[in-house]
Amino acid sequence: MKGDFFDALRAGAERVAVWADLLDRINVFPVADGDTGRNLLISLLPLKSSERDRSALIEKLFLSARGNSGNIAAQFFTGFLSCENEAKFPKLHDAVHRGTKQAWQAVANPRPGTILSVFDDLESSLKHVPMDDQGEWVSVVLKKLEGTVLKTARILPVLQNANVVDAGALGIFIFFDAFLHALYLRGPQFAPLSATFKEHLSVREAWEADVETGSCVDAVVRLKEGGKKVMEDLSLSGNSVVARENGDCIKIHIHTGDQSAIRDALSRGGSIIQWASDDLSAQTRAFSFRPLHQAVHIMTDAAGSITRDNARHLGMTVLDSYIAIGTKDLPETYVDTADMYTAMAQGIRVTTSQASVFERYQHYEKILGLYNTALYLCVGSVYTGNYHAVMDWKSAHDPEDRLKVIDTGAASGKLGLIAIATAEHAATTTTAKEVSDFALHAVAACEEYIFLDTLHFLAMGGRLSKTSAVFGDMLHLKPVVSPAPEGAKKVAVLRNRKDQVAFAMEKLENTIHSDAHPIIMIEYTDNKEWTESGIAATVRKSFPYAEIILQPFSLTTGAHTGPGTWGIAFLPSGS
């Protein structure tokens, strides 16, 4: 019995999204820049969409591919998508064969012991393992691929020294574990990664990453006459080169010490229609950071104002919501803040959605596979279905109550500040109960005030009548809202920014003593410079002992409140 081919693709991509943070933590090859999980997640996002036209999917994969592993994976799936849902097993093998061949051809310097080896052994297994319509052979194939991934820790010297498996190879194994189970309707009984690869899922303590220089560039170029020769020459001038063609366009990924020279060369070959770059020095330095040991692992939702950098530095797990900007849909913490607010200002529709139940369940399972106990500081149950989802999962899968859950009743900066303070406290104590008690105190004590600049976006999202929004904006009314367990409450209506600042300072001064050591989070949308020079500077003068965090708003909140919004959350006594 076989399931739906596109549903199986979606299951594979969703499971990669769940494990992306761990893949980042073990990404030491070809450069220890900690982005393989991010790159695979972003590159495979088209497979999660409702698109069922294979040609359209291939086009989207071409444009979405990011990084070394993501470009190789996208090239593989370009070939793989020739597989028909109704096909018998030899055609599945043919599709993997085509994908593997294209993946190897895309890489200027292909290496065994990487993502390519998983493609090779998947193809070999499909060719030699006896197959049946019931899919009993799936377990045999996946067991072979487990061995392939484990061997990567012994093949490449850098992986051997760091004592980890190749992140790209593990990512593709994770994809096909979910894909094959879904395609043959075997249920989500996936390989216990934390047990199978447990010796190779964290970088050896004594290992240190080399700090790289230069940039990691991804670009799409529409070629002009003679441009292909320019691209061929360019592929010899950098490292980690992956190049692939699609019609009259070429996608190139390259590590370079001079991105200006690369951009100039690309421009000589054609017109650049897409460009992205990462600072390798910043990435490799960040990768070397090791979070402190915590008494209990902290998990929270990106609906709080939490960034991927927060999660990495504090050792937290963050469950993403999804932000759709026009037709582009990304996990919240992967969205470029400036891009979203620019789009909103231009009238492009921005919407939010939750991760699928499958994806959320896989997060909970992952957490208990990696940690003895965890504390989930959940976005308020009035705002999303996350609390009910985790409690349903716990009733069936957590008889020992290892995953503690608190319905914080909060969202936005209030939730983010509770999570950050609790994670910091978890590194100062030895018992999970102390951490839980601190979290409950923070939930009760933390306050947040959100200052809207316009009512227009609330009306667009259906949270306010358009008539009310028009009259409110005409009268220059700027509401102040505060997240509460029963929902967001309007606590004031102000005339201008000066009144907003006065209101915020009054709330702080009425709650916090000047000699106290509070944690104060100041949140921005498209107004970082103003909040930093204005609000943050004012708060520092009044509360010299405060820990002040300047933080982008949760984009789940920002998508509803729009550009110009800012906020302040505070915990009267920090950790």
Token readout for 39 is 């790159």
Q: Which pLDDT does position 440 carry in this prediction? A: 97
Q: Which pLDDT does position 123 carry in this prediction? A: 95
pLDDT digits (tens, 9 = 90+) for 43-85: 999 999 988 999 999 999 999 999 999 999 999 999 999 766 5
User: Is 430's pLDDT higher than 80?
Assistant: yes
Backbone angles phi, psi at 290, to 5 degrees: -115, 120
User: Is 416's pLDDT higher than 60?
Assistant: yes
Q: Which pLDDT does position 209 carry in this prediction? A: 83
Q: Which pLDDT does position 71 carry in this prediction? A: 94
CA–CA distance from 174 to each of 11, 40, 78, 417 (Å)?
10, 11, 19, 33
Residue-range domain boundaries for the chain: 5-200, 215-285, 289-444, 447-571
pLDDT digits (tens, 9 = 90+) for 310-325: 999 999 999 999 999 9
pLDDT digits (tens, 9 = 90+) for 174-213: 999 999 999 887 777 787 898 899 899 999 988 888 888 8
Count, in order, helices (H) and strands (E) of the chain: 25, 17
Q: 12-26, 73-87, 94-108, 145-159: which has the minimum mean pLDDT?
A: 73-87
CATH class of 215-285: alpha beta
User: Is 472's pLDDT higher than 50?
Assistant: no
pTM of this prediction? 0.92
End-to-end CA distance of the chain: 55
Token readout for 550 is 């300047």
Q: Which pLDDT does position 379 carry in this prediction? A: 97
Calpha distance 221→214 (Å, rounded): 21
Cβ-based neighbour number of residue 435 at 10 Å: 26
% of the chain surpassing 70 pLDDT: 94
Q: Which pLDDT does position 130 carry in this prediction? A: 84
Residue 86 burial by CB count (10 A; 0-12/13-18/19+): exposed, middle or buried? exposed
Compute the average pLDDT of residues 365-374. 95
Q: Which pLDDT does position 234 carry in this prediction? A: 73
Calpha distance 256→127 (Å, rounded): 39
User: Is 236's pLDDT higher than 70?
Assistant: no
Pick the CATH number of 5-200 from 3.40.50.1970, 1.10.3720.10, 1.25.40.340, 3.40.50.2300: 1.25.40.340
Q: Which pLDDT does position 456 carry in this prediction? A: 63
Cβ-based neighbour number of residue 214 at 10 Å: 20
Calpha distance 178→31 (Å, rounded): 27
C-alpha of 334 from chain center: 5
Backbone angles phi, psi at 251, to 5 degrees: -105, 130
Compute the average pLDDT of residues 147-153. 96
User: Is 457's pLDDT higher than 70?
Assistant: no
List strands edge to edge, sheet with 350-353: 328-331, 322-325, 350-353
In CATH terms, are 5-200 and 447-571 the same topology? no
Calpha distance 64→56 (Å, rounded): 12
Calpha distance 278→67 (Å, rounded): 9
Closest listed residue to residue 180, CA positions, set 61, 96, 74, 79: 96
Confidence grade of residue 376 (pLDDT, cut at 50, 70, 90): very high
pLDDT digits (tens, 9 = 90+) for 113-128: 999 999 999 999 999 9
Calpha distance 383→485 (Å, rounded): 9
- Identify the residue whose tokens are 């229609």: 273
Q: Which pLDDT does position 227 carry in this prediction? A: 78
Calpha distance 371→375 (Å, rounded): 10
% of the chain surpassing 90 pLDDT: 70
User: Is 462's pLDDT higher than 50?
Assistant: no
Q: Which pLDDT does position 476 carry in this prediction? A: 62
Closest listed residue to residue 22, CA positions, set 165, 131, 230: 165
**Of residues 472 and 502, which shows the higher confidence score?**
502
Q: Which pLDDT does position 469 carry in this prediction? A: 38
Q: Which pLDDT does position 478 carry in this prediction? A: 86
Compute the average pLDDT of residues 218-232. 85
Closest listed residue to residue 114, CA positions, set 150, 157, 168, 64: 168
Average pLDDT, the chain: 89
Which fold does the domain 447-571 belong to in CATH? Hypothetical Protein Tm841; Chain: A;domain 3 (3.30.1180)
Compute the average pLDDT of residues 389-404. 97
Q: Which pLDDT does position 109 carry in this prediction? A: 85
User: Is 461's pLDDT higher than 50?
Assistant: no
Token readout for 444 is 């009760």
User: Is 465's pLDDT higher than 60?
Assistant: no
Confidence grade of residue 239 (pLDDT, cut at 50, 70, 90): confident
Listed as own residue / partner, the contacts of 455-459 with beta carbons closer than 8 Å and 24 or more positions apart are 455/479, 456/562, 457/344, 457/559, 457/560, 457/561, 457/562, 458/560, 458/561, 458/562
Calpha distance 558→311 (Å, rounded): 20
**Of residues 473 and 120, which shows the higher confidence score?**
120
Q: Which pLDDT does position 285 carry in this prediction? A: 87
CA–CA distance from 106 to each of 55, 133, 360 (Å)?
19, 34, 34
Token readout for 559 is 């998508």
Compute the average pLDDT of residues 170-174. 98
Cβ-based neighbour number of residue 190 at 10 Å: 18
Calpha distance 76→169 (Å, rounded): 13
Token readout for 349 is 């529709």
Q: Which pLDDT does position 6 carry in this prediction? A: 92
User: Is 160's pLDDT higher than 60?
Assistant: yes
Confidence grade of residue 246 (pLDDT, cut at 50, 70, 90): confident
Confidence grade of residue 574 (pLDDT, cut at 50, 70, 90): low
pLDDT digits (tens, 9 = 90+) for 536-562: 999 999 999 999 999 999 999 999 999
List strands edge to edge, sheet with 519-524: 487-494, 478-484, 447-451, 566-571, 519-524, 547-552
Confidence grade of residue 247 (pLDDT, cut at 50, 70, 90): confident
Token readout for 40 is 């695979």
- Distant-in-sequence, close-in-space partners of 24: CB < 8 Å, separation ≥ 6: 34, 35, 36, 37, 38, 167, 312
> HEC profile for 187-251?
CCCCCCHHHHCHHHCCCCCCCCCCCCCCEEEEEEEEECCCHHHHHHHHCCCCEEEEEEEECCEEE
User: Is 92's pLDDT higher than 90?
Assistant: no
Domain at 289-444: CATH code: 3.40.50.10170
